[in-house]
Structure 1
Amino acid sequence: MYLDIPRKFGPIIHQAQQTAKEVFRPISRKYDRAEHSYPKELDMFATIMDGMNDGSLNGGAGAGKLARSGNGSGEGNRNGTNMNTVLGLTEVCWGDVGLALSIPRQGLGNSAIAAVANEEQLKRFGKTWAAMAITEPGAGSDSAAIRTTATEDGDHYLINGEKIFVTAGERADAVVVWASLDRSLGRAAIKSFVVEKGTPGMTVERLEKKLGIRASDTATIRFENCRVPRENLLGDPEISVDKGFAGAMQTFDNTRPVVAAMAIGVARAALEKTRDLLDSAGLDLDYRLQGWNQPAAVRELHLLEAELEAARLLTLRAAWMADNGQPNSKEASMAKAKAGRVGNAITLRCVELSSSIGFAETELLEKWSRDSKILDIFEGTQQIQLLIIARRLLGKSSAELK
């Protein structure tokens, strides 16, 4: 694995940097204060992005299917859609995480479509803005505990249940809903369905008020005999007890590096601002001195930078493996676990190092510390990631290691 960023990604990185600086940062505080107000500035931006790079800046539509991303033979070196997504999204979230989650046609549900949809479904839903509905009142980190059901009814499925914390649930054109075809068969029966906005039986119950990412709407959605066409079931409709939950989990293998990239972006923003503040206070930030000869604040800053670099490299590895067709479940969880934890720790520590400036609304530091917390929670909490890593290292199943 080469650690230099390939030159072909220069344009997307530059484009994302300009977006973060010129579009997101100027309106960041505005939509943090105006929670649930739709950022209209993003409509024109999304249209431009569709034309320039087929909507692949954000992690939703950008994350590609692992099996299609490379030949898996170990020969050659491919850097494709997954790497493109991670690099671009890191820069965008340097601007604002909530706004990044609000870009039309770039929902997390698009990653689910990219991961498990067949060719016909990819064409049909390729331009659809899709949210992802997994979490339920009784099923959070353990996705296998999903109680929402999908019952066959002729050429349709009837979906019944409730989903909470659905990012972009009100704004998106469709919601990818995870439901069980037969709860008695456990994990193997869980499938994902594309439920388009306006489908009878799907109701947005409420929007949540949140600690961070306030520019992004977070909805609770109820499904009551919601009739969905059979062809909207993503991937293979057959229930395979042997294959189990593996097909559905491919979604997370794609989205976890994406969330890690988001954490890296917001943490880097906090570190850069803190560095500027310490520099303006007259502290020597040079790396030539040993830690014990530096002021405590400078030493702490350098340690935080090292943690961020470790998280960045883990994330690049997970994305590279996906692009080269290599199974990356363990590496995706490692990247998410590291980046989610240190991203939140870095932003909080930067608030402390910046004292009253970091705590006030005159800077975005306090906002970044709030925004970063969700990145250690959704797409699987810190504890769940460590559990997955342990299972992969020890060769244990979920039943054997809980």
Structure 2
Amino acid sequence: MNLETPKKFLPLVGQAHQVAEEIFRPVSRKYDQEEHAYPRELDMLAALLDGMNDGSDMGGGAGAGGVRRQEGNGDEIRNGSNMSTALGIMELCWGDVGLLLSMPRQGLGNSAIASVANDEQLERFRGKWAAMAITEPEAGSDSAAIRTTAEYDERTGEYVLNGEKIYVTSGERADLVVVWATLDRSKGRAAIKSFVVERSNPGMKLDRLEHKLGIRASDTAAFILDNCRVPRENLLGSPEVDVKRGFAGVMQTFDNTRPLVAAMAVGLTRACLEQTKELLAEAGVEVDYDKPAQSQHAAAAEYLSMEADYEAARLLTMEATWMADNSKPNSLQASYAKAKAGRTCVDVALRCVRLCGARGYGEELLLEKWARDGKILDIFEGTQQIQLLIIARQLLGKSSQELR
């Protein structure tokens, strides 16, 4: 497995970096301070980026757009849309995480649709911006505890959704919202399905927009679902409740999206490290890769430690995307990448702020903002603790009931 950046993706990486440097970075502080203001600069950019992601089934660009597994012949080694999307995300999040999450048609809901939608649904929802609504007041880290219900109305051929959803990224601005709901709470995880709801649906009411620590350019919404009627054609996956297969259908989405969130963390971590290295050089502290860390300045030794963690997170992320592109089960590797990258991002950002002193803590630079932005990357798409539980269960061969 070669985890260097494939040559065919170098133009994409270059374009994404140019966008991050020339569009995201200059307005990063502006939209951090103007929370909930929509970044109009992104409209034209989103249209340009729609074609950047090689082979994306949902027309996503270099952001958190759709990724889909494709069956190969078993012998061909493929670097496809999962890897290209992750590489694009790394560059764009080097610029600004909140602005990436604000880009039209780059929502995590797009990844959900691309992961499990049939061909007719892919075509019908193509080109639309999809948010993802999973979390509820009573169901945070445990997605299986969802209480939002979906009852089938045979008279109209519609599902009727009732419940509450919180922390929906881009929920106000998106065209669609992928809502997780249960067909029968008595049957547990197996009854949880995902439904594509039009944002204009009168049964889905915007309750509030959250004020947040970081990623303030991105809107985070809360919704009330009150007899929200959804056509049966908008159910993703099978309507059957398969107790043996359980939660696997909707959870397949996470195997694709967790490496993308890991890629966001990798990009932000690199931004922190590059800024810190420049400031250390200004202060006369040089990082020497030919000397043992313990024989260098304490700040240089700490920098080398952070850089090693960054490199581990990047390689784990590349591995998880490569496996998805080559139709290999990657649930364990997706959690490895998400856990390592999320924790590394938070840790490195705070250590960089500390190393850079007053300049790191003030608003003259973006380091303090990156430290605030980084925390969400260790939380959403499954917290650090949940990832470690998933990893432990798989390594030990335990079920969720056996190891909580």
Match for residue 91 of structure 1?
91
Q: How does 1:6-155 map to 2 (within 5 A)?
A: 6-51=6-51, 53=53, 54-61=59-66, 63-64=67-68, 66=69, 68=70, 70-71=71-72, 73=74, 75-154=75-154, 155=157
Check the 8 A contact 1:72/1:326 in 2, yes or no.
no
1:198 to 200, 215, 233: 200
Cα RMSD for the two superposed structures: 1.0
- Structure 2 residue corresponding to 1:312, chosen from 311, 314, 332: 314
Secondary structure of 2:288's counterpart equals: coil
Match of 2:220?
218
State the Cα distance separating 1:293 from its structure 2 match. Answer: 1.4
CA deviations over 1:240-281 (Å, ceiling 9, x no partner): 001100111101001000000000000100000000000011
| Aligned 8 A contact 1:37 1:215 in 2 | yes
Shift of 1:345: 0.4
Q: What 5-or-longer segments of structure 2 have no aligned partner?
A: 54-58
CA distance 1:325–1:284, change in 2 (3 Å): same
Query: Structure 1, residues 284-308: CA drift from partner, whole Å, max 9, x if none?
Result: 2221222221111110001100000
2:169/2:218 contact within 8 Å kept: yes
1:245 aligns with 2:250: no
1:294 to 293, 296, 300: 296
Question: Is the Cα–Cα contact under 8 Å of residues 194 and 233 in structure 1 kept in the other structure?
Answer: yes
CA distance in 2, matches of 1:83, 1:127: 21
Give, in whole Å, the separation in 2 of the partners of 1:82 and 1:363.
Answer: 32
The offset of 1:52, in angstroms, is 5.0
Cα displacement (A) at 1:127: 1.1
- Aligned to 2:50, what secondary structure does the other structure show? helix
Deviation string 1:347-399 (CA, Å, 9 cap, x unpaired) is 11000000000000000000000000000000000000010011111111111
What does 1:368-387 align with in structure 2 at a 5 Å threshold? 368-387=370-389
Whole-Å separation in 1 of the counterparts to 2:275 and 2:184: 51
Task: Compute the displacement of 1:56 (Å).
Answer: 2.5
Paired residues, number: 397
**In the TM superposition, what whole-angstrom CA distance separates every residue of 1:285-342 from its partner, at most 9, and x where no partner exists?**
2212222211111100011000000000000000000000001000000000000001
Counterpart of 1:363 in structure 2 is 365
Deviations 1:138-160 (A, max 9, x none): 00010000000000012100000
Instruction: In structure 1, list runs of 5 or more residues that go unmatched.
Output: none
1:184 counterpart (168, 173, 186): 186
Contact 2:204 2:223 in 1 (8 A): yes
Following superposition of structure 1 onto structure 2, how do residues 270-289 of structure 1 map, counting pairs within 5 Å? 270-289=272-291
Moved more, 81-90 or 280-289: 280-289
Between the aligned partners of 2:73 and 2:318, the Cα distance in structure 1 is 17
SS in 2 for 1:363: coil
The 8 Å contact of residues 318 and 328 in structure 1, kept in 2 or not, is answered as yes
Matching residue's letter, 1:224: D
Offset at residue 76 of structure 1 (A): 2.7
1:232 to 222, 231, 234: 234
Greater mean deviation of Cα atoms: 100-109 or 284-293: 284-293
- Separation (CA, whole Å) in 1 of partners of 2:142 and 2:22: 39
Letter in 1 for 2:80: G
Letter in 2 for 1:289: K
Residues 46, 61 of structure 2: 8 Å contact kept: no
The aligned counterpart of 1:330 is 332
- What do residues 34-67 of structure 1 show as CA deviations (whole Å, max 9, x unaligned)? 0000000000101112255543311232x22x3x
* Inter-partner Cα distance in structure 1 for 2:351 and 2:146: 36
The 1-side partners of 2:326 and 2:276 are apart by 37
Q: Distance in 2 between matches of 1:43 and 1:284?
A: 41
Deviation of residue 200 (structure 1)?
A: 1.5
What is the SS of the residue equivalent to 1:60? Answer: coil
Report the secondary structure of 2:38's partner residue. coil
Alpha-carbon separation, structure 2, partners of 1:290 and 1:133 = 48
| Amino acid in the other structure paired with 2:322 | W
Looking at structure 1, the residues matched to 257 and 52 of structure 2 have their Cα atoms a distance apart, in angstroms, of: 23
Cα 1:72–1:149, aligned 2, differ >3 Å: closer, same or farther?
A: farther
Residue from 154, 177, 181 that aligns with 1:175: 177
- Secondary structure of the 1:112 match is helix
Moved over 6 A (4+): none
SS at match of 1:236: coil
Contact 1:162-1:221 within 8 A present in 2 as well? yes
Q: Contact conserved, 1:72 with 1:325, CA < 8 A, in 2?
A: no
Gap change, CA 1:180 and 1:72, over 3 Å in 2:
farther
Contact between 1:195 and 1:232, CA under 8 Å: does it hold in 2? yes
What's the CA shift string for 1:192-227, capped at 9, x where partnerless?
000001112111100000000000000001100000
